[in-house]
Amino acid sequence: MSDRMSEAADLLREPEQSEKVKQSRKYELEQSPAEALTSEMLNSHQSSVVGRQWSVVSGQSSLWQDILWREWRNTNDEDYAEHLFELIGDEPVGHEATIINTLLGMLYGGMAGLLIGIFGTLSQPLSSTVWLMLVGIGAALGSGGTLLARLLWQRQLSWRVWLARLTLNMAPGELGLLGGGLFMMMVAGLFGWLIGLSGGLGHTIGAITLGILLTTSLGARLVGWMVGLGREPNANHLHKYRGWWLWWRKRPNGIDVEAALQRACEVVPAAQNKWIEVLKNLGQRKKKQEPLENLIAHLRSRDWIERFTASYLLAASGGEAVAYLLTIASRITSPQRSTAIRLLQSIEQETTARLAEDANWLLCPRCLACCDSHTVSIADELKFSYYGCRMCGQSREFWEGDVVAVLDTAMGSEPLQENGTVRINWLARRELFDFHAVEIVQASDEEVERFAVQVGNDTDPLRRSRYKWMHCVVGPDCHLSENTLRILGSIFAEVIENR
């Protein structure tokens, strides 16, 4: 599990209570994971609106900004990406912009020095020292000029403007045409160089060819700069270039993204016009259990807010949504396949962080079965493990604590939850369920023996493994025969009589 998921797991754990389970309590967080993580962020940003302005590229940005950059970089939803960029695009760049600009200036300066040397060698040969000197001077001047410009005139350069300059502020198609022309010139030049070498004109033809290549490269940069000059940076264009940067950063999980968006609503004015309402609506809909078929259909909606909300509601649905998502993920040609795989990964991360540690002590109220790990796969290529009820797979609602199978004619049919224990009356059900101990308060020998027969014939492997170490307590008001006690002793690890 990554460091971020370890942090999320810590946030997902509730503080220890004197009573693990209280009446009518579901195994849910009093504070949602996103709200818990937001609280952590708020504490770390009390004295600053912007927070820690560290480098996103180096992986040291302030927490919420780093999360949103990674989400923007990895999402394929252009509309969603555009609205994410509104939250982070106007943040000032860090030291990495200076470093990259300096390196680019060094590159183009060195190319210019090399070009001067090439044209100089056409009149007379140059020594290697002169070549190195020309390239070195060009690189120094290029990097120095770029650094000076950055320090004097670009102190407040934003990510939006800087990324646009890196891409010449051109649409992907325009840059593609420019790159295509450069490639054709390179092929033609190399072909001419080979002809020159075979005809004994290698020195002259080689110099001319290399000069053409360098001139084309520098000219392409100049033409690109002129084409993009005066344009407003386009967020959609920048997102299409995302494969060029932050490619090593993995997409964050949904809990972190939701928390980062809530944090952004606190500190970024641009977020308040759109995201506050979106997150409020998401929170309200999470309290309901919408039909999963409808949410799956909304993944194809033309409205990006509906797509965004549906994906987060599906992730929050946990194990119940897995079968639906597997169907989509198994279709290679489905446009929503990548979304379904991402949601399966989110369910795996979230349920593992929230349920794995206490799985044996969590009981599904629907099936009266404990929580367990489930593994699913997509055509033996991708495997996912998530935690949910071992019978129905749901991972939203659990009772927590020791489960005791009670035999008591005076007890009602409703389970009782008190003092970290869930007590369920077998006499009211006459069917087995997952439990950790047995307590016989008041029951006849016949009733106890029927229970013992069910347990003895139980074929469920998990329950059978528990019987070997399970205790059975017989209350002082229950007077069982020696034969009945002997039967119980042959099934359970120990029979304790309270006289």
Residue 280 included in any domain: no
* 168, containing H or E segment: none
pLDDT digits (tens, 9 = 90+) for 213-244: 556 555 555 555 544 454 556 666 677 767 66
Per-residue pLDDT for 325 more than 70? yes
Whether 386 and 407 map to the same domain: the answer is no
Q: What is the pLDDT of residue 222?
A: 53
Per-residue pLDDT for 485 more than 90? yes
Domain of 478? Answer: 402-497
Which band of pLDDT confidence, cut at 50, 70 and 90, is reported for residue 199? very low
Q: In the block, which residue shows the tokens 């979230």?
A: 350
Q: Give the residue, 17 or 83, on which the prediction is more confident.
A: 83
Whether 416 and 492 map to the same domain: the answer is yes
Q: Are 65 and 51 in contact (CB under 8 A)?
A: yes
pTM of the model: 0.68
Whether 423 and 360 map to the same domain: the answer is no
Strand-pair category, 494-497 with 402-408: unpaired
Residue 126 included in any domain: no
Residue 91 included in any domain: no
Which band of pLDDT confidence, cut at 50, 70 and 90, is reported for residue 66? confident
End of a domain among 371, 400, 429? 400
Whether 443 and 491 map to the same domain: the answer is yes
Whether 443 and 365 map to the same domain: the answer is no
Q: Which residues of 461-495 are buried (b: 16+ CB within 10 A; e: fewer)?
A: eebeebbeebebbbbeebebeeebbebbeebbeeb
Per-residue pLDDT for 394 more than 90? yes
CA distance 53 to 82: 22
Whether 327 and 358 map to the same domain: the answer is yes
CA distance 25 to 420: 11
Residue 345 included in any domain: yes
Q: What is the pLDDT of residue 103?
A: 72
Residue 371 included in any domain: yes
End of a domain among 345, 372, 400? 400
- 288: number of Cβ within 10 Å: 7
Strand-pair category, 421-425 with 399-400: unpaired
CA distance 309 to 277: 12
Tokens of residue 445, six digits: 């020998």
Whether 492 and 451 map to the same domain: the answer is yes
Per-residue pLDDT for 426 more than 80? yes
Whether 383 and 461 map to the same domain: the answer is no
Select from 106, 104, 102 the least CA-distant residue to 137.
106
Whether 407 and 391 map to the same domain: the answer is no
Select from 477, 357, 335, 423 the least CA-distant residue to 13.
357
Per-residue pLDDT for 11 more than 50? no
What are the residues facing 442 on neighbouring strands? 408
CA distance 114 to 2: 46
Q: In sequence order, which ranges of 56-199 are alpha helices (DSSP H)?
A: 63-74, 78-88, 95-121, 128-153, 159-166, 172-198
3-state secondary structure 79-99: HHHHHHHHHHCCCECCHHHHH
Residue 463 included in any domain: yes
Select from 86, 89, 83 the least CA-distant residue to 308.
83
Cα separation of the two ends of the chain: 51
The three-state secondary structure class of 225 is helix
| CA dihedral of 312, 318, 324, 327, whole degrees rounded to 10 | 100
Whether 492 and 409 map to the same domain: the answer is yes
Residue 53 included in any domain: no
pLDDT averaged over the chain? 75
Window from 4-13, 63-72, 120-129, 392-401 with minimum mean pLDDT: 4-13
Residue 155 included in any domain: no
Q: Give the residue, 402 or 117, on which the prediction is more confident.
A: 402
CA distance 368 to 431: 10
End of a domain among 375, 400, 425? 400
Q: Are 326 and 376 in contact (CB under 8 A)?
A: yes
Whether 418 and 332 map to the same domain: the answer is no
pLDDT digits (tens, 9 = 90+) for 105-160: 677 677 676 666 666 665 566 666 766 776 777 677 766 766 666 565 555 677 77
| CA dihedral of 238, 241, 245, 246, whole degrees rounded to 10 | 80
User: What domain count does the chain have?
Assistant: 2
CA distance 22 to 406: 18
Whether 347 and 392 map to the same domain: the answer is yes
Q: What is the pLDDT of residue 129?
A: 73
